[in-house]
Structure 1
């Protein structure tokens, strides 16, 4: 996000076969807080939409100097309320997992969701969550389901809608593509069944005919979308009505 706010950049120290090198980002500008709807997104002139995730949310795959404009949270912000919008906030950590212990980022999203999102100021009116690719082949399907349900339930307890995104695709440029593809497809099918009208469809926005990351949207490493892919993700976010 490019705004008059603080941007915090850190690098995780953990490493592993799926570790992503790159920063974390928290970008915000103070804004009034909307009265949230627990069932459906409702555009408002007074809101704070949090866009939360891992290295894809940080914008790895896009040149650092272009991320404030071209990463998917920035593109979504621009579509929702313009380049100078003060009503969105991006919170991303490279290598973060949903729930896998000892992940490539030291804390899981379940650990950071309270202090960095639900308890943050300005308070969120809605939250979109992009997470899960780093857990693949490390977390059971049941673990995914429990983790996503927990995020949604914790938001609902405060009247904050939490919208889970389907896990974005990889392709054979990513060394672990073959090992993770079947589970990714299973988890995404479950997300669609669990929240048929309120999930964010990142996977199908980026997939080619083989359900792998479309080469047109590949930054080159097989996992991180380029600027065109980020635009597709922003379109999917706005298409939900956010």
Structure 2
């Protein structure tokens, strides 16, 4: 499930100039970007009450464009209601320090326009400016405002640059607004004359929740990331799961964050670095490092199968994937987090499909269902397959490429999650 990443409509020129980094910081950032080093989880610290939950937190990768004297205004769609929001800026996959001159958060009115009177300056350790070392992340001070479930915020960063290769999430399926100069405090969208469909450096929003008791992380590849969902509609299956939880369809009150990356694999890094290092390398940070995480839904492996990508260049076997799942299960349980396994959906008609690949998928799904290693199971395969041809997606749910669901399919996936399986 790989495709070309979205690129900015207006892309500033790259620069290789460095800005006073610590001697080893650029090296660490490059090693992280290449998947040759692993940073520890960087969950935001709890507030004085000990209660913080992740409300939004995309997984980040390397390979984004460079920016100079640019304001990026990004949309954050909160999955849960709360107060005192904090944001996380990530320079985890960049080889140079990131200088940020100003950060602002406001309630979205429409498009790139902020609702009048809602703009708040964001500080880090009391300062409106900061430098984030290569390979590092920074969590802001709490912002004095409230956030509603399913509410959109606009987070604006002014980057004096040149930034060099940016840490980003390529396929946001949302609109980011771009302006030259510092327009972080503007309510008006007039200066934001370009748009992209990626997020840059912005890696998290956490809140003191109104009612939520924790967060569930949806961890996966492009199906979880929302490929083929419409831009700005929040119809990815994790978004729709969050709606179910916020609407009180079960006893749980949980935030939902989407840790999907298009093209991502369980066992191996993808040569296209924007598709991320392997799940084995990013799981501790992207899943277990989220504030308030209680549950992880693991739904990944079809890219390993479709690319026949076993460890160390070996042909893939079902046992390879099972061993990878066991490693992730052990990590989750070591962090006292429940992990729910999701069966892999059919893909007949897609280029990934072959009889040999289908045999691996069936063996892996059998183990997920019957192996007893996961705390619970979501049978996406059963829900999404064509009753007349179980190796293929149900045509009612097929976006057209025979592997990614359409909006109806995304809703069917969200509805397939038994809310009683999630920890309160």
Give the whole-Å Cα distance in 2 for the aligned partners of 1:27 and 1:74: 17
Equivalent residues of 1:32, 1:46 under 8 A apart: no
What secondary structure is seen at the aligned counterpart in 1 of 2:369? helix
- Whether the 8 Å CA contact 1:51–1:128 is kept in 2: the answer is yes
Bigger relative CO (Cα 8 Å, ≥ 6 apart): 1
Aligned to 2:242: 77
Q: Give me the whole-angstrom Cα distance separating, in 2, the residues matched to 1:29 and 1:238.
A: 26
**Contact 2:216–2:254 at 8 Å: present in 1 too?**
no
> Is structure 2 residue 418 aligned with structure 1 residue 238?
yes
Aligned CA distance change for structure 1 residues 74 and 118 (closer, same or farther; 3 Å): same
Q: In the alignment, which residue of structure 1 is the partner of 2:17?
A: none
Q: Deviations over 1:140-190 (max 9, x none)?
A: 211111111111110101110011111122131x12222522211111011
Where in structure 2 are the equivalents of 1:29-40 lying within 5 Å?
A: 29-31=205-207
Q: Structure 1 unaligned segments of length 5 or more: list them.
A: 12-21, 34-43
Change (3 A) 1:128 1:86: closer
Counterpart Cα distance in 2 of 1:147 and 1:89: 22
The equivalent position to 2:369 in structure 1, one of 178, 192, 206, is: 192
Structure 1 residues 40-55: aligned runs within 5 Å = 45-55=212-222
d(CA) in 1 for partners of 2:208, 2:296: 16
- 1:177 aligned counterpart, secondary structure: coil
TM-score by length of 1: 0.79
In the alignment, which residue of structure 1 is the partner of 2:12?
none
Aligned residues: 217
1:176 to 345, 352, 361: 352
Show the counterpart of 1:161.
Answer: 338
Gaps of 5+ in 2: 1-55, 57-76, 79-151, 156-167, 172-196, 310-315
Q: What is the DSSP-based 3-state SS (H/G/I as helix, E as strand, rest coil) of the residue aligned with 1:65?
A: coil
Counterpart of 2:278 in structure 1 is: 108
Structure 1 CA distance for aligned equivalents of residues 199 and 394 of structure 2: 26
Structure 1 distance, partners of 2:263, 2:199, is 9
Give the drift of 1:87.
1.4
Contact 2:261 2:276 in 1 (8 A): no
Aligned-residue offset at 1:191: 0.7
What is the Cα deviation at residue 31 of structure 1?
Answer: 4.2
Alpha-carbon distance between aligned partners in 2 of 1:72 and 1:229, rounded to the nearest angstrom: 8
Distance 2:343 2:213 in 1: 27
> Comparing both structures, which one devotes a greater share of its residues to helix?
1
- Name the larger-Rg structure: 2
Looking at secondary structure, tell me which structure has more strand per residue. 2
